[in-house]
Chain A
Amino acid sequence: MDYSEAVDILLVEDNPQDAELTIRALKKHNLANRLIVVEDGADALDFIFGRGKYAGRDTGHPPKVVLLDLKLPKVSGLDVLRALKQDEQTRPIPVVIVTSSREDPDIKTAYALGANSYVVKPVNFDGFAEAVSNLGLYWLLVNQPPR
């Protein structure tokens, strides 16, 4: 994928199986065409802010939605979220917290930091696929980002 192009979905997910399942679910609804996956928080921030290996990327076209796992290597999901919501440029980007468990102690903090939504990934694939596609449909097609 050409990183200079506009991206619809930034998927921050360290688990490749989950990433694959997510992409598959989105693909069924043709929502995965402009999707990029990064595997840790540091990459996610580099991508958004056009740093590191994404240096020179046009940050004028932010992703329509960030699907953010909280448990990430290096920079945690919460730190990514905090960084995004502290920056005026990136604050409007919708961030959806995607987590494996509703037990996650960080969910409250995530909301406090400005997370826009929160989705639990069901074990059951059908449920999972439905949740992910609804998510994609909503944020890509229904939600109107600020101009």
Chain B
Amino acid sequence: MSAVTQEPDRLGRENEALRLRVAALEAESERFRTTLQSIGDAVISVDTDGRVLQMNPVAEALTGWAETEALGQPLARVFRIVNQATRAEVESPVERVLRDGALVGLANHALLIAKDGGERPIADSGAPIRNEKGETTGVVLVFRDQTEERRAERQVREAEERFRTFFDSAPIGKSIAAPDGRLLRVNPALMAMLGYSVGEMQALTSVAITHPDDLPETREGLRSLLAGEREIWSTDKRYIAKDGHVVWAHVVARLQRDPEGNPLYLLTHAQDITERKRAQQEIESLAKFPEENPNPTLRMRRDGIIIYANPSSKYLLAAWSCSVGDLIPVHLRDRLAKSVAEQESATVEETYNSRVYSLSLAPVPGTDYVNLYGRDVTERVRAQEEVRTLNAELEQRVAERTKQLAESNAELEAFSYSVSHDLRSPLRAIDGFTRILEEDYAPHLDTEGRRICSVIHDSAGKMGQLIDDLLAFSRLGRVEMNLSRVDMGAMANAIFHELTAPEDRTRIDFQVDVLPPTVADPTLMRQVWMNLLSNAVKFSSKRERAVIRVSGQQDQGESVYSVQDNGAGFDMKYVGKLFGVFQRLHSGKEFEGTGVGLALVQRVIRRHSGRVWAEGKPDQGATFCFSLQQSGV
């Protein structure tokens, strides 16, 4: 019995061991199950045929399949997944694990289609199950609901997208820089503003693109931000664009720090204000315009209180002994009130010490002030006075000259009278006593004696004539002209008849064309015709058939008259002597005359503002012409 009795002991011990082992296994299995049950991820295990062995409650919830339902079902029925984008069936991960024997991550964007048709994004992975011998006995599939994860992810992406859009499409320049100033990110507006590409900008620092003159301020701004002395730093500064031109920008910068307070990024906004700055500078420059005006420029209220005075007004203000805020002098206030009432500018001239100012008061319509524009006109006034003085002196001189002229005219007249009176008396005596000699002493005179007496007579007569002609010539310069309309043709005809006897007229062929009338002194004009016609008669007297032709024509505002004869003529060589006093081209033996006639003609015509000229050839006649202005005819 001992063996037998021993056997149940062994059996019993073996049984006990087995029971303990099963118990241990059961405990393990229970622990595993509990673990599986409590795990946050969904877990499905399948056998090598791809049939569901086990699934935990999360897997039940996600697939919509109860474990009891799903047991033994092919995985593809329970775990249906499609590509989120293409909606194509995705290869079962189990198959790939079985085929490759390795751990497999599932394709992203996988959508799990639940039993009830609901879809949800999942992330999953599969791993082979191996026994002690290392043989694959199944696959465990672990997956997770990614709905929340994906939403969060999308939100981050959307936030990033919003930021990017906001950053890139902003119309003002924006940059994100490292605390040391390296530009990490720039927006297109900033690139456009400065003309750099992204790559170029990212190789630069905010200091490198700053105008040298603005560097100290920029550096100080950045330092104060980094030092935490301020949250935001803003300024108007200049950048240098890639092409070198200056860009004015209104810059706002702030430093972003991490929760521990370490500097992360420098965020900068830069608004291009170049145009605004230019306009501002222009306004400032214009505002300085009155300041720069060298003439006094002031603005007053209507009551006369000065509200503005430019620097050039200093002298005026001193003269008025007032300054901005004071009333202008009372007489100017009255003028200003009048100007305001009439809404019309007024100009007054004022003398302060030795300076003369022209002051223009100009009410500005639609405002309650009056502008005053001053101008120092001292020099002008001085010049005017000088001109006035010079004019007065000139008038004085003219008066003196006129008086002198009148005196010399009077003297000349007296002289003429003396000449005519006193030269004539002895001549008369010479002539008269020669006659007495001839009468009372005739018996004592022989032929030669009588010839000599006759020479004395002739000479005395000639001298008398000379005196008369000379006096007539001198009188011409002094006599007053009385202008009236003159019928030149009639005058020429009348004078020709006065000059000639009937027998002369049979010898002379006298032709008078139609002559243009003129306005002249008739007495003087008679002298002209008298002299020209008597010359023509005289110098053609040796012609058997004399021809004298008087003609006239109008030409460009003047009338030209001419007297042509076929007489002795003259040599053009001597034409210059023709019109001189006492100048004769013929001897007294040939033709009598004193040489005053043509000088007299010239004098008369010149007094009428006309011209005289002559043409001739020896022995072939002469033509004498004169012109008169037509005006007033």
Residues of chain A at the chain B interface (Cβ within 8 Å): 15, 17-18, 21, 24, 71, 99-105, 121-126, 128
Contact = CB atoms under 8 A, between A and B. Distances in A.
A71 B425 CA distance: 12
Nearest to B460: A123
Contact of A103 (B417, B432, B464): B417
B319 to A, nearest CB: 65
B425 A17 contact: yes
A103 B420 CA distance: 7
Contacts of B413: 105
B475 interface: yes
B425 A15 contact: yes
Contact of A124 (B426, B429, B461): B461
Contacts of B431: 123-125, 128
A17 B424 CA distance: 12
Contacts of A21: 428-429, 432-433
Given A21-B428, A103-B475, A124 B464 contact: yes
User: What is the predominant secondary structure among interface residues of chain A facing chain B?
Assistant: loop
Nearest to A71: B421
Contacts of A99: 421
Nearest to B438: A125
A17 B416 contact: no
A103 B463 CA distance: 16
7 contacts: A21-B428, A21-B432, A100-B420, A103-B471, A123-B464, A124-B457, A125-B431
A39 B455 CA distance: 32
B302 interface: no
B407 to A, nearest CB: 15
A105 B475 CA distance: 12
A21 B431 CA distance: 10
B425 A18 contact: yes
A21 B413 CA distance: 28
A123 B417 contact: no
A123 to B, nearest CB: 4
Which among B432, B461, B463 has the highest number of chain A CB atoms within 10 Å?
B432
Contacts of A128: 428, 431-432
Which among A104, A122, A124 has the highest number of chain B CB atoms within 10 Å?
A124
B412 to A, nearest CB: 12
A17 B461 contact: no
Which among A71, A123, A125, A128 has the highest number of chain B CB atoms within 10 Å?
A123
Nearest to A70: B421
Given A100-B424, A100-B425, A123-B463, 9 more contacts: A101-B417, A101-B421, A103-B416, A103-B417, A105-B417, A122-B428, A123-B427, A123-B428, A125-B428
B424 A123 contact: yes
Contacts of A125: 428, 431-432, 434-435
A100 B413 CA distance: 15
Contacts of B428: 17-18, 21, 100, 121-123, 125, 128
B436 A104 contact: no
B421 A104 contact: yes
Interface residues of B, number: 25
Contacts of A102: 420
Which 5 pairs of residues, A with B, have the shortest CB-CB distance?
Answer: A101-B420, A123-B464, A17-B429, A125-B432, A21-B432
Contact of B433 (A15, A17, A104, A121): A17
B102 to A, nearest CB: 158
B580 to A, nearest CB: 23
A122 B471 CA distance: 15
A126 B460 CA distance: 12
Contacts of B422: 100
Contacts of B460: 123-124
Contacts of A100: 420-422, 424-425, 428
Contacts of B427: 123
Contacts of B461: 123-124
A100 B468 CA distance: 11
Contacts of A104: 417, 420-421
A24 B437 CA distance: 13
A136 B627 CA distance: 49
Interface in B495-520: none
A71 B418 CA distance: 10
B406 to A, nearest CB: 15
Contacts of B464: 122-124
B424 A101 contact: yes
Interface in B386-431: 413, 416-417, 420-422, 424-429, 431
Nearest to A17: B429
A2 to B, nearest CB: 27
Contacts of B426: 17
Nearest to B414: A105
A126 B435 contact: yes
Contact of A24 (B420, B425, B436, B457): B436
Contacts of B471: 101, 103
A97 B147 CA distance: 156
Nearest to A101: B420
Contacts of A15: 425
A95 B432 CA distance: 24
A108 B413 CA distance: 15
B463 to A, nearest CB: 8
B411 to A, nearest CB: 13
Contacts of A123: 424, 427-428, 431, 460-461, 463-464
A121 B417 contact: no
Interface string B442-460: 0000000000000001001
A19 to B, nearest CB: 11
A21 to B, nearest CB: 4
A104 B424 CA distance: 13
A56 to B, nearest CB: 34
Contacts of A17: 425-426, 428-429, 432-433
A100 B385 CA distance: 56
A15 B457 CA distance: 20
Which among A99, A101, A122, A124 has the highest number of chain B CB atoms within 10 Å?
A101
B466 to A, nearest CB: 11
B470 to A, nearest CB: 11
A126 B435 CA distance: 8
Contacts of A126: 435
Which among B416, B431, B436, B460 has the highest number of chain A CB atoms within 10 Å?
B431
Contacts of A71: 421
Contacts of B463: 123
A17 B417 CA distance: 20
B323 to A, nearest CB: 77
A105 B409 CA distance: 13
Which among B422, B434, B435 has the highest number of chain A CB atoms within 10 Å?
B435
